[in-house]
Structure 1
């Protein structure tokens, strides 16, 4: 495990377990220690099932390739199943990989994951450049296609933010996928009026599941929890403007996942028509960044 520290902020990172940022904490002006990412006691990072904590990279695609298939309209590529219960390939391969440590200082680390073998043609190099300064955390991602053919790629990060019954989410988007059938398969997309359901900072908890794959996000999401006196602002690069917003019923967390394409774009026609993967020729690179900044309410 690596530790980063900068002023009131500290982070814990496990390169050997998917390069996960397992914990991020901030000591506020009143001396209280606030978790900025979910890290419940007794829950440990794992590569056996996607981690429901911290934040971790999704590469070479984000979210689900249904039926363990990549189909971007030009190629069909069979992938290994990696979802608990089987049948799909979820969040790519980075979260199950051992990341190499390239550099490490008190407030900065660079991790690398390289895929050089596998039953599919994906061969790539991806880096996470993680910087902790006194105001917040920045993660820069870059994936380079090292295969001998052009391939469709996606990129993203999966933060799990603490939430309470009074937590409000403020973010604006121009559209969203329409879901039908099991597992968030897209049937189409639609425009959203006035920035969508969270444009005015609605209370997030509804008692039921929340699932959105937004399109045309403006790149800023603000999470405010008056009961804890904490606000968290998430920003992301223009290349990661298709966020997934998700939480199961009665959850003590919410996910706002900046990613480069919509849910199901690896395999589903309706999703890729809305926000497809990016085809990279050999040697080409897809980049993106996100930043998490705390503030006292």
Structure 2
């Protein structure tokens, strides 16, 4: 995801576990025991930080947003941000659907290939709120005057909740159009990356990609076996989708004797691992569709994604569970 997630490499300083969270009046803090979560509804409905309070300072499970990132309102430098109504790239920002060309170029996305949908670049509305839970709402109504606007009307929601130390995130969407809508969703977490960070995940194959990080073919790769046994974040130069994911991935900081287990419900059937060489970035990302899935052609069953019929809704949950050992 060469954009600090994808497209162009952006170097982000490593998030040290002792870094203090930043004060920002627009942030909403959730708490459960010693665990804290800060949410930035105005910055793409993003999670700014997820950490445990300790006598040594905050122990971060996601890479925390810096004050400069908050000041800039940059979702790509948050702890995690939502992906609606598709995940990752669409080649040349266009695809064919039901005999029509959907052209997304010019919608404000600064990347040459449409990236991560649009909900991450817009403010979300705050809904029901408790000390440990929060609902965020997003509504998209197409604007025919806006070049490249997503031509389907839909609503999306995030329910963000701390239960003990675990982060429960329920994503949902509802097609409000009078016609079918191609669709995908996910969340894009960044994790602290140290020389001793490992990633475990049961996957079956990797999507190989071209220089634009667009998929070329699905096949074997040494990273597949490495992930099954515990792959060092420094082992490969990765920005790839993995198929046949068993819906669980574990990020372990072996030197710090702690781990974070990610589990996801179907249709989060695909996993993205972004671990670029010579950078401190690490993403292990649950998604419902692979990169450029809308242009998958003859193999849509391998690329994921859904078509939501008029009035149809979809809901699925992602959970991150921390543990020290």
Give the TM-score of the pair, scaled to structure 1. Answer: 0.90
Counterparts in 2 of 1:50-61, with a 5 A limit?
A: 50-61=75-86
In the alignment, structure 1 residue 34 sits paired with structure 2 residue 46: no
Equivalent pairs, count: 293
8 Å contact from structure 2 (residues 223, 231) kept in 1? no
| Distance in structure 1 (CA, Å) of the matches to 2:57 and 2:122 | 35
Q: CA deviation at 1:143?
A: 0.8
| Distance in structure 1 (CA, Å) of the matches to 2:164 and 2:217 | 42
8 Å contact from structure 2 (residues 213, 240) kept in 1? no
In the alignment, structure 1 residue 244 sits paired with structure 2 residue 269: no
Q: CA deviation at 1:59?
A: 0.3
Correspondence for 1:199 among 206, 224, 228: 228
8 Å contact from structure 1 (residues 18, 94) kept in 2? yes
Match of 1:172 in 2: 202
Match of 1:4 in 2: 30
In the alignment, structure 1 residue 225 sits paired with structure 2 residue 253: yes
In the alignment, structure 1 residue 256 sits paired with structure 2 residue 281: no
| Distance in structure 2 (CA, Å) of the matches to 1:275 and 1:253 | 25
Gaps of 5+ in 1: none
Correspondence for 2:119 among 94, 118, 135: 94
Structural RMSD (CA): 2.4
| Distance in structure 1 (CA, Å) of the matches to 2:43 and 2:140 | 15
Correspondence for 2:214 among 185, 200, 211: 185
| Distance in structure 2 (CA, Å) of the matches to 1:43 and 1:69 | 33
Correspondence for 2:160 among 127, 130, 141: 130
| Distance in structure 2 (CA, Å) of the matches to 1:134 and 1:52 | 26
| Distance in structure 2 (CA, Å) of the matches to 1:27 and 1:293 | 16
| Distance in structure 1 (CA, Å) of the matches to 2:68 and 2:271 | 25
Match of 2:12 in 1: none
Higher mean displacement: 50-59 or 30-39: 30-39
8 Å contact from structure 1 (residues 186, 271) kept in 2? no
Correspondence for 1:153 among 161, 164, 183: 183
Match of 2:90 in 1: 65
Higher mean displacement: 247-256 or 87-96: 247-256
| Distance in structure 1 (CA, Å) of the matches to 2:243 and 2:298 | 13
Match of 2:141 in 1: 116
Q: Summarize deviations over 1:182-214 as a string: whole Å, max 9, x none.
A: 3122222125799633101121213x6212201
| Distance in structure 2 (CA, Å) of the matches to 1:47 and 1:148 | 37
| Distance in structure 2 (CA, Å) of the matches to 1:265 and 1:285 | 20
Higher mean displacement: 277-286 or 153-162: 277-286
| Distance in structure 1 (CA, Å) of the matches to 2:50 and 2:29 | 10
Match of 2:193 in 1: 163
Match of 1:210 in 2: 238
Q: Summarize deviations over 1:12-43 as a string: whole Å, max 9, x none.
A: 10111110011000246x86631111115334
| Distance in structure 1 (CA, Å) of the matches to 2:49 and 2:39 | 7
